[in-house]
Amino acid sequence: MNMSPLSTVVLGAALLSGSFFRAQSPEEPPEQDRRPPEGGWEITEELEDATRAGLAYLARTQDPEGFWRGDVGYKINSSYSPTAENAAHVGVTALATIAFFACGEVPRKGRYGKVVDRAVAWLTRQVEENGYITTNGTRMYSHAFATLCLAEVYGMTTSDEVRSALQRSVDMIIQSQNQEGGWRYKPFAQESDMSITVCQVVALRAAWNSGIHVPKKAIDAAVAYVRRSATPPGVRRIHPRWRFGPGGSSGVFRYQQGREARATFPLTAAGATTLYGAGIYRDPLLKRALSFMERTFDSYNRYWGKRRHYFFYYGNYYAVQAFFIAGGRRWARYFRQVRELLLEMQNPDGSWDCNIGPGPNFGTAVATLILAVPFRYLPIVQR
Amino acid sequence: MMLRSQELRSPVFPGSGSGACFPFLVLGLLLPASPSPSQNRALFSVAQDEGRSRRYAEAKRLLDHGKYASAIGLLREVLESSSSAVTRSPDGGYLGLRYLARETLARLPGEAASIYEDLAKGTAKLLLPDALIAPEGGSFQRLRESYPGTRAAETALAAGGLRYLEQGRVVRAWHLFSSLSSLYRSPSGESGRLICRRLLSLPLPSRSLGPDMELPFAGRNRPLRSVLRALSSTSPLPLPASGVLGGGIEGSHPSPAPLEPVTTAWSRKIPTLTFFNWNILPVTDGKRVYLNTGTGIHCLDLLTGRTCWSFQGPLHEEPSSGDFLASISPHQIQVVGFGKGLVVASIQVPKIPDIAKENTEFNGIPVMRRLPVRRLFAFEADSGRLIWSHWDPEKDPPKGFEDAVMDVSGPPLVVGDTVYVPTHKQLGTIAFYVSAFDLESGSLRWKTLICSSQVEVNMFGNAYWEHAASPLACSDGFLFGTTNLGLAFSLSLEDGAIRWLRPYEIIPLPPAQMIPQAREVYWGNNPPIAHGETVVMTPLDSVNALCFDRGTGKILWEMPFLVPDSQLGRSYPMKWMLGIRESRLWFSGDGLASLALEGTRRFQRRARLVSSASRLGIRQIEDRSRMPRGILTSRGALLPTATVGILSLDVEGKIRPGSPSLRNQTGNLCSSRGILVTVQPLSQSHRILVKGLYSFKALIDRARNKVRKHPGSPEFHLELAELIASRPDTSPAIEQQALAGYRKALLLWKRRGTSSTRPNFQRAILGLFRLELRIGRRLQRIDLRAASGHLWEAYEASRKLTPDSSKLEEILDLHELLLRSSLSAERKEEILRSLRDRFPDTIHDFQGFGPIPAGLYAAWLRMKGIPETRSAARGLATLLQEILEKWGGITMRTGKVRDLVLVRLQDLIRKFGPEVYAHIERRARKLLDASKDDPAALRSILRSFPLTKTAKEALLSLASLSARNGDFAAVLDAYGSAAELLSSIPPELKAHLSRAALAAGNRLLALELSGNRDSLPEGRLFSPATLNGIPDRQVFHSARSSSRDFGHAATTLVSPLFVRGFPSRTPPPLLLLRNDRFRLMAFKNIRSSGLPDLRKYDWEIDYDPGVRALPSWVFGEVLVLSDPGRVRGLSLANGKVLWSLDLSEGGGGFEAEEEILLARPLRSGLLLVVTGSPASKETRPTTLLGLEPLTGKLLFRREIPAAAGVGVTDGRLFFLRPRGDRGARTSELHLCDGLDARSLKVLSLDGRRLPRLIPPSPDRIVLASDGVYLLTLLPGGFRKPGLYALDPEGEIRWEIHPPRLGERDGFILVGKQVQLQIGFRSMRTARVLPLDRTTGKASPPVTLGRMAFPAEERSTWGRIPPRPRGFYVWTDSEDAVHLSALGGTEARTSWDTVLPWESSDLRRDLVSEGALFGPTFLLLGKERRLGRRNELDLLVLDMETGSILERMSRSYRAYVNIAPWHGYLVIHSWLDTWILRAANAPGSSLKRKKRR
């Protein structure tokens, strides 16, 4: 059997590389600032309401200690087996905190200043002496999201405490990079996979942006890994066992380096995001990836979105940034569809369900993040 | 706050090919990069501190340029690095930054050194005075650490060492002195002599260090003179060899060869939890053998194999202990470490690691494996007493140890007063540490993170094995070891600062496939061996033995595990590194090999095969993990094999001619005192076989020879005596020889003037004692007189023994034996005196008495011996009084000492008159006169002199005093004491208590004590919080409150009943919710804030009401919560527990199976708590406890041997007790006093005068102000079924026998009526028969329909509702649901209303237990399922007319609770909370609603 386990926490934060914030007031950004002249169609009142409600929900569900809860677990085929239910979750906490950043909320100030402060303080406390950020058995996904989050915080606050924690967590990522150039569920693994590698690269990029030393060769090795993971041009269909939903055609980036490894919509989005994150904007692989994603996002989203499956959130988490950077017609078509779908999926209390996966806090954090991309507090966009 | 925009940062990422001048990138290129992942290098991370690395490099540069001051400043900054911080060395290793800075500072060139000295001198001037006044020598040590290598540091070290010496902490002092001796400025010899000179000349602040003083030093007590001599010697102090390597794995030097001939002297089989474990290695201290099975410790006598003590670790209690077996590393070495009389071992504990809670798999593919967790335990070597452990089942990790406790990944090493141990945190990655703990307390000294890495993982990334590091080795102030994660290390012993880390080529981990593969391992998990300037290690993840430079960690040479045989052209694998002999390193495996440590400079080295398996004729072992470990000896090596036993080889590898035949023996070996010990797991079994191999004769011959050569040496006499005593073939003659040996040794020591506290002297005395005791015991059945002689000798010896815990049992056994022997009266008296004087408080299990203090045992026996005559009576009373005062609280097997003594004293007084007690009375009087109203003194009189008249006076004084002070609790205490000690309660005391109760807010108790018992109207003892108006306006709705604020927990509303008669100064309008995590949360004051805030509770407390949820009560401002195990009184204001009655504490005499069966308020102002076993209350005792609810003070406690049930109606207490034969089904009804639960009246329900209750149950008994009402449904004896009204004396006032009483029928008392409910809760037509309470005269029955039940409370059969009417719900023939009110006095108050509900709805019940009542209306509700949601339908009815005033509905999920709460109505479901306010006054609202 060629089963490949995937994740504890959904992947994703690639869109958050770099600084999330533009140079503007951290407090209550004026409405008109949120609507860039060229992107006026992106931000609707419904979208703003939805992100506001999402943040309100997250603020309500935050534990007084600063964390958000979620089911810590692992993927088996298309199901999710929890190992710690409704537990303090490093990855969910990091993503939820980033969601606040993505909507222009910052530490110490504003309506959600205390929420963010509590979350950051809790995350900082979870950094082990060896740099690994974990609790209740969370894994490298969570570590990467948390590193990313700390990098953003450090960029904003230049706190020595955060810097020390961030430096250690970055060192852990770098020193656990394996010979393939990638990473796996746990540090120091011999093997790699695409989804985890993307998270680490994005975290490194954010740390670098905030002034932390990141060796160039670590990034080079990771980019080389992503390139090696690409499927050969012309492959139209992958192994039927790896369909994972509709549209069985092969994507561009594979889960692992092997002929039989699956190349799905989210993995393709993840690969594209990595290349963009590494400053590569023109590449035949990117062209192929965007074409594939454009062909398949509609069916993918409807299939997994209806199930409130974490595949949906994780796939779009990558896709939104890839399309955003690509811009133009592709972006408009993709974002209109995903925006409508997310608005439709939102619960009256502001949350998004994640029936298979870490839970509603996770769904809400990622959905809010996706919807917040047009606010352009996420400066990843380097068109 | 300024935000950094992205534009402000470098715009190009390093990978994009532009922006190359980015400063961090440049720095990154300048600095040595992380280890490149190469083919055979492990992936790991170490703590590289780049900032301080740069500072260190800069300091070195500045030193080269002569800028010393700046350089020293930078170096001192680097000195502040964490002990883990490292920097890359040019040759590919890592060097510890703190260590580097320390070394550099200590070796500064001339001019720099003087600048540094000046700096240190200045600071030392400031710091030294503080250090001098600090009680601990550690202050000096810190001073020294700040300025390493300076004279100030040297002074500080010496002063610190002296301070430790003064405190008698010689080992710690030695640590400091030895550090001093290694300082660079003072050659070690000079510094040693310097210390001694100072020691001898310096006037010490205390005189505790006199020249004759003995100090514990290097394993035993030594005179100060010899300690000083040792301290002054230039060579480092000898450490116990067994404690040095791997916590006791001997082998760096040859062990003493076993004395030949070698035969099996003893063998023992020891059970283990692990299976076929070859890694259990024996260690010995020359007296005992210690074995660590991984889950427990066994200590055996080396000579006899007798178990001295054993410790079964906590994993044995764990039912799922087998879960760990598959993930135990086959390389985890299991040995103990020992030193200073303590044994330390890592033992597996039943902790569930975060990483994997259980073994799980998916389609046969392992997903997670529960990994073993090991923790340190320390024991007293002599007794096995647990001294400390890093395991607490209640809280793991134990508080205060969070940083200290980590999972142990190797055996502990004891050096001096410190335990060093490899540890790790398994959090998905292995964070590997070395930790140092104080040997005596287990507290953390330091811990150093070495590296992080990974072991074999499965495809889910989860660890497949536990991690096993190498045992540690210590040499010359440094620790050495290998992580087995691709990195070897050396640390400073003192503070754990890394000296160097060195990566090496590893055997790659196999890929994480579906079924994980273990890495091939070739070497055994050997401790490193240090020799000269090198240290040799055999990492498990390397094919080579590696030799490192001791100072830099550079790899000097490597040697593969395969050793070739050039003649045969074959290679033989080696596994164990046995040690060093004649500058050669010796290995064993499939043969024996050795390697010259000096000479060749080659990197690749080959060992010389001394002997191979082929040459020795032994079969090679396929599974190398089962290859036992041999030893080097002074004659060669002992090589255990699986096929031909243990081979004794000479240095040439040849089997020694004439060597002992050990063909049938194998196992891991150790050797001491001429005895060889083997340990081997038994195949297919959870046991290990331990053997002691030696010849008694040879040992004894050797000992005799020694005695012959040195007849004046007590040590040799002792050795010989011990050997003879341990002979298995014992005989009286042999025993006499042993006795003579012990006596001779003792005599010689006495002649020398040796103190009897010296260890060897004590050893001899103990040997003599045990042997005499053994002989005495044996002779008891043969020759009593001779036996007594030996036992007396043993007693004489025991008087010289230091009685520690290991010997106490034996000594007390001996005392007991002597008291039962035929000793003379004088001698027995001496034994009794000895017990009284030497062991007054030592608990021992005396035959017939149970575990009691030895002093009590002696006093009791003496008391028994006093004749009960007039002349002796006074003395007897005195002794009894002494026993009462000293041990009154103790329980013996025959009963409580206090009770037994009091009975005996009362007998004496009765028999011989009060004069026998007069002197005690006088003593009590004297004490009372002296007490001057001191409560403690008064209580003491009460406790110690309960039979005196003075006690009563003391009690009254105490109560009066407490009442004056407003101390309600103290008055209650006095009352409780009176109830316990006095035959009747003095009226003055009642008056005191009544006043105090009134002042404290317990009006009911005050009234009860003043005799005004029935002041409270009937049925009005308690009520739920009332609803003052019609709940028609919703003021609050919180959606999803529970899931948002309390996790996903479901919550329920807790609505306590308010007990009247307890005024409250502050209103308690708190909303109480309980979640399914058993937390009770109280929310903000609704009134003050207008709306409740359900996001944040005011206070919370754990509350698990159990399956049979007992109601909660409010007494004034005290909330009483009951759960199956305890009752607690809480402050409603802040949730603070004011008092608690906890059954689990057992102090109250509760049995383990007991539960709280009932907790209800009584009219006497007390809370009745009934405890017992719910399953067997008819056979096991039931206990009635009366607690004052504001203070929790116990006022009464009554035990009923067996009770059919305890009942409380309207605050009146009764119980039913089955009588005689259970088949006869007769019972007694006890009507009890509310103040002390005494039976005021006992009614015999035997079917003669009074009816029988079949089955006996309190359900249909009601105690009212006018008597007892009971309803029987079945005929019993001579009495028919029916309702009986009895007067308070138990005489029948009237009785009525209606036909067709059903099993669900009951009755209620309403005003002047009894309403008998006939045909209720059935499909029959129900009737209510109103009866006059005084006469029993029946009014015409009222016919209802089917399915009738009382609206107020559906589940009870007899009760007094708080309203003068009965309310009934029933269904008519048209299927319409009715609510009827039947007036208790006047027919006009009756009415009938048709409810807008269907009868089928009623099956789902009214939402609460019954209707909710306001002052003028009642509220009924029903629930109905609507698809996935439920609907609650509420009706508000006018109580006067029955008209429906309001109808409302609410949609909700799961279930709903509804309760009135001080003017509000709270409706709470799982996810929603609605609060409705009655905004209108009752009267006006009714009118308004009616109009509508």
User: pLDDT tens across B79-115, in order?
Assistant: 988 899 999 999 889 999 999 999 999 888 888 988 9
Chain B's closest residue to A128, CA to CA, is B431
Measure Cα distances from A24 to A32, A86, B577, B1291 in Å.
13, 37, 68, 92
> How many CB atoms neighbour CB B1412 within 10 A?
25
Range of the domain at B982: 915-1000
Distance CA B1219, CA B1399 (A): 44
With 80 as the cut, is the pLDDT of residue B1088 above it?
no
Residue B194's Cβ-count burial label (10 Å; 0-12, 13-18, 19+) is middle
Which residue among A5, A174, A211 places its CB closest to the CB of B34?
A: A174
Give me B738's structure tokens: 């042993």
Which pLDDT score is estimated for B661?
65
Is B470 part of a structural domain of the chain?
Answer: no
Nearest CA in chain A to B509: A190
pLDDT exceeds cutoff 80 at B144: no
pLDDT confidence tier of residue B1014, bands split at 50, 70 and 90: low
pLDDT of residue A27: 33
Least confident of B926-930, B1453-1457, B1480-1484: B1480-1484
The rounded distance, in Å, linking the Cα atoms of A197 and B1397 is 64
User: For the segment A232-252, what is each residue's pLDDT rounded down to a tens digit?
Assistant: 776 555 444 444 434 445 777
Chain A residues within an 8 Å CB radius of B13: 205, 208, 219, 277-279
Q: What is the DSSP letter of B296?
A: E
Across residues B769-780, what is the average pLDDT? 91
- Which one of B207, B232, B257 terminates a domain? B232
Q: Does B362 touch chain A (CB under 8 A)?
A: yes
What pLDDT sits at residue B1328? Answer: 93
Which residue intervals of B402-532 are DSSP H helices?
none
pLDDT category at B404 given cuts 50, 70, 90 is low
Q: How confident is the model over B1332-1342, as pLDDT tens digits?
A: 999 999 988 99
Q: What is the mean pLDDT of residues B978-1007?
A: 84
Q: Render pLDDT for B328-341 as a digit per residue (tens, 0 to 9).
A: 998 999 999 988 78
Residue B173: its pLDDT value, please? 73
From B478's Cα to the closest Cα of chain A, the distance in A is 23
Residue in A138, A209, A219 closest to B15 by CB: A219
- Does residue B1157 form part of some domain? no
Distance from CA of B1108 to the nearest CA of A (A): 29
d(CA A298, nearest CA chain B) in Å:
31
The predicted model gives B950-960 an average pLDDT of 83
Residues A157, B362: C-beta atoms closer than 8 Å:
no
- Any idea which residue has 């002070």 for tokens? B965
Question: From the list A134, A171, A211, which residue is nearest B45 (CB)?
Answer: A171
Alpha-carbon distance of B1338 to B1348, in angstroms, equals 20
Pairwise CA distance, residues B207 & B1237, whole Å: 66
Nearest Cα residue to B408 out of B425, B388, B427, B394? B425
Please indicate, yes or no, if residue B1439 is contained in any of the structural domains: no
Q: Is residue B1174 part of a domain?
A: no
The beta strand positions in B615-707, using DSSP E, are 631-632, 636-640, 646-650, 668-672, 675-681, 687-693
Q: Which of A24, A107, A211 sits opposite B24 (nearest CB)?
A: A211
Q: Is B948 on the interface with A (CB under 8 A)?
A: no
Residue B16 and residue A280: Cβ atoms within 8 Å?
Answer: yes
Q: B1158 in a domain, yes or no?
A: no
Please count the structural domains in chain B.
Answer: 2
Q: Check if the beta carbon of residue B182 is closer than 8 Å to that of residue B195.
A: no
Q: Is the pLDDT of residue B1209 over 60?
A: yes
The reported pLDDT for the residue numbered B137 is 66
* Closest alpha carbon to B1421 in B1360, B1361, B1465, B1463: B1465
Q: Which chain A residue shows the shortest CA-CA distance from B10? A: A209
Query: Where residue B514 falls among pLDDT bands split at 50, 70, 90?
Result: confident
Q: Which of B5, B13, B84, B1076 to mutate to test the interface with A (most CBs of A within 10 A)?
A: B13
- Cβ neighbours, 10 Å, residue A364: 31
**Domain range A13-375, its CATH number among 3.40.1550.20, 1.10.630.10, 1.20.1090.10, 1.50.10.20:** 1.50.10.20
- Is the distance from CB of B20 to CB of A215 less than 8 angstroms? no
Asked if B603 reaches chain A (Cβ–Cβ under 8 Å), the answer is: no
Distance from CA of B1120 to the nearest CA of A (A): 29
What's the pLDDT band for B1148 if we cut at 50, 70, 90? Answer: low
Closest listed residue to residue B146, CA positions, set B156, B135, B134, B159: B156
Between the alpha carbon of residue B1028 and those of residues A285, B292, B1112, B1476, the distances in Å are 75, 72, 22, 11
Cα torsion at B503, B504, B509, B511 (round to 10°)?
80
Position B688 pLDDT exceeds 80: yes
How far apart are the CA of A97 and the nearest CA of chain B, in angstroms?
17
Those residues with Cβ within 8 angstroms of residue A375's Cβ, 6 or more apart along the chain or in another chain: A34, A43, A51, A102, A103, A104
**How would residue B1100 be classed by pLDDT, with cut points 50, 70 and 90?**
confident
Q: How far is CA B695 from CA B258, B308, B729, B1358, in A?
A: 10, 21, 13, 86
Instruction: Tell me which residue has tokens 């020691």.
Output: B199
Please tell me if residue B452 touches chain A, with a CB cutoff of 8 Å: yes
CB contact under 8 A, A208 and B357: no
Q: Are A156 and B1048 an interchain contact pair (Cβ–Cβ within 8 Å)? A: no
Domain membership of residue B127 (yes or no) is: yes
pLDDT at B1408 over 70: no
* Sheet of B1155-1161, strand order: B1155-1161, B1167-1172, B1182-1187, B1194-1200
Distance CA B185, CA A335 (A): 74
Distance CA A117, CA A16 (A): 19
Which of B43, B403, B430, B1044 to probe by mutation at the A interface, max A CB count within 10 Å? B43
The arithmetic mean of pLDDT across residues B1213-1219, rounded, is 87
- Is B172 a residue whose pLDDT tops 80? no
Measured between alpha carbons, how far is residue A203 from residues A93, A142, B205 in Å? Answer: 15, 11, 61
Q: How confident is the model at residue B1042 (pLDDT cuts 50, 70, 90)?
A: very low
Count of Cβ atoms closer than 10 Å to residue B1273 Cβ: 17
| Cis geometry, peptide bond prior to residue B1255 (ω within 30 degrees of 0) | yes
Given B972, B1000, B1028, the domain boundary residue is B1000
3-state secondary structure at position B1396: strand
| B1394 pLDDT above the threshold of 80 | yes
Positions of E strands within B1385-1479: 1391-1398, 1412-1413, 1417-1426, 1429-1438, 1444-1452, 1456-1461, 1464-1469, 1472-1477
Across B708-714, average pLDDT: 92
pLDDT digits (tens, 9 = 90+) for A67-97: 999 999 888 777 888 888 889 999 999 999 9
Nearest to A185 among B12, B45, B460 (CB): B460
Choose the weakest-confidence range: B145-149, B470-474, B1340-1344. Answer: B145-149
Question: What CA–CA distance (Å, rounded) separates B720 from B706?
Answer: 9
pLDDT at A366: 96
Tokens of B586: 């010796």
Of A19, A76, A134, nearest to B428 by CB-CB distance is A134
Chain B contact set for A277 (CB, 8 A): 13
CB contact under 8 A, B43 and A214: no
Q: Using an 8 Å CB-CB cutoff, list chain A residues near B1044.
A: 60-61
| Contact call for B17 and A210, based on CB within 8 A | no
pLDDT recorded at residue B1282: 93
Cβ distance B34 to B86 under 8 Å? no
Residue B1415: predicted pLDDT: 74
**Confidence at residue B208, expressed as pLDDT on a 0 to 100 scale:** 44
Q: How far is B1067 from chain A (nearest CA, A)?
A: 29
Look up residue B605 and give its amino acid. R
Whether omega for the bond prior to residue B261 falls within 30 degrees of 0, making it cis, is yes
Q: A23 and B7: CB-CB below 8 Å?
A: yes
- pLDDT (0 to 100) of residue B1432: 83
- In the structure, what pLDDT confidence band is assigned to residue B714 with cuts at 50, 70 and 90? very high
Q: In this structure, are residues A146 and A162 in contact, taking their beta carbons and an 8 Å threshold?
A: no
| CA of B1122 vs chain A CAs: smallest distance (Å) | 29
- pLDDT of amino acid B185: 45
Tell me if chain A has a CB within 8 Å of the CB of B14. Answer: yes
Chains A & B: contacts with CB separation below 8 Å: 201
Q: Which residue of B has its CA nearest to A136?
A: B354
The 3-state DSSP composition of chain A as helix, strand, coil percent (nearest 5) reads 55, 5, 40
Q: Which two tokens stand for residue A351?
A: 């949350």
Contact A22 B460 (CB under 8 A): no
Helix (H) or strand (E) holding B78: helix B68-78
What are the structural domain ranges in chain A? Answer: 13-375
Residue B938 belongs to a domain: yes
Contacting residues of B for A278, CB less than 8 Å apart: 13, 15-16
- A187·B17 Cβ contact <8 A: no
Q: Last residue of a domain, which of B1000, B1015, B1042?
A: B1000
Confidence of residue B576 (pLDDT cuts 50, 70, 90): very high
Supply the pLDDT for residue B1485.
40
Checking if the pLDDT of B1430 tops 70, the result is yes
Strands, sheet with B1306-1310, edge to edge from the N-terminal-most edge strand: B1342-1343, B1327-1332, B1313-1318, B1306-1310, B1358-1359
Report d(CA B1444, CA A196) in Å as an integer.
Answer: 66
Pairing of strands B1113-1115, B1057-1059: parallel
Pairing verdict, β B1205-1209 and B544-549 = unpaired
Report which of B1413, B979, B860, B863 is spatially closest to residue B1238, judged by C-alpha positions. B979
Alpha-carbon span B1373 to B1386, nearest angstrom: 27
Q: Which residues of B touch A152 (CB under 8 A)?
A: none
Mean predicted lDDT score pLDDT of chain B: 81
Q: How far apart are CA A365 and CA A149, in angstroms?
A: 13
> Peptide bond preceding B397: is omega within 30 degrees of 0, i.e. cis?
yes
DSSP 3-state of B1343: strand
Q: Is B30 on the interface with A (CB under 8 A)?
A: no
Spatial separation of the C-alpha atoms in residues B471 and B477, rounded to whole Å: 17
Reported for B1166-1170, long-range contacts at CB under 8 A and 24+ positions apart, including other chains, are B1166/B1005, B1166/B1195, B1166/B1196, B1166/B1234, B1166/B1235, B1167/B1113, B1167/B1115, B1167/B1120, B1167/B1127, B1168/B1206, B1168/B1208, B1168/B1213, B1168/B1237, B1169/B1122, B1169/B1127, B1169/B1141, B1170/B1206
Axis-axis angle for helices B188-201, B170-181 (nearest 10)? 130
> Angle, to 10 degrees, between the axis of helix B224-232 and the axis of helix B188-201?
150
pLDDT in the model for residue B1092:
63
Cα dihedral sign for B662, B667, B669, B673? negative
User: What is the rounded CA–CA span in Å between residue B235 and residue B219?
Assistant: 18
Pick B211 or A4 by higher pLDDT. Answer: B211
- Partners of A21 on chain B (C-beta within 8 Å) are 3-6
Higher-scoring residue by pLDDT: B1389, B706: B706
pLDDT tens figures, B415-460: 888 999 999 988 888 999 999 999 988 989 999 999 999 988 888 8
Which comes out higher in pLDDT, residue B4 or B892? B892
Residue type at B502 in one-letter notation: R
Query: For residue B190, is pLDDT > 60?
Result: no
- Could you read off the pLDDT of B238-278 as tens digits, one per residue? 334 433 333 334 446 788 888 888 889 899 999 998 888 88
ipTM metric: 0.83
Sign of CA dihedral B515, B519, B521, B526: negative
The most distant pair of C-alpha atoms in chain B lies apart, rounded to whole Å, by 123
Report, in this order, helix, strand and coil percent for chain B, each rounded to 5: 30, 30, 40
- Alpha-carbon B1364 to chain mean position: 56
Of residues A139, A209, A379, nearest to B461 (C-beta): A139
- 3-class DSSP string for B384-409: CCEEEECCCCCCCCCCCCCCCCCEEC
Task: Tell me what pLDDT residue B1077 has.
Answer: 67
- Partners of A358 on chain B (C-beta within 8 Å) are none
> Do the Cβ atoms of A190 and B509 come within 8 Å?
yes
User: What distance in Å separates the CA atoms of residue A134 and residue B1275, rounded to the nearest whole number?
Assistant: 72
Flag if A129 and B5 touch (Cβ within 8 Å). Answer: no
A176 CA to chain B: closest CA distance, Å?
6
Q: In chain B, what residues touch A72 (CB-CB under 8 Å)?
A: none
Whether residue B537 contacts residue B482, with contact meaning beta carbons closer than 8 Å, is answered with: yes
Nearest CB among B425, B452, B514 relative to A187 is that of B452
Q: Within a domain: residue B875?
A: no
Q: Alpha helix locations (H) across B214-278?
A: 224-232
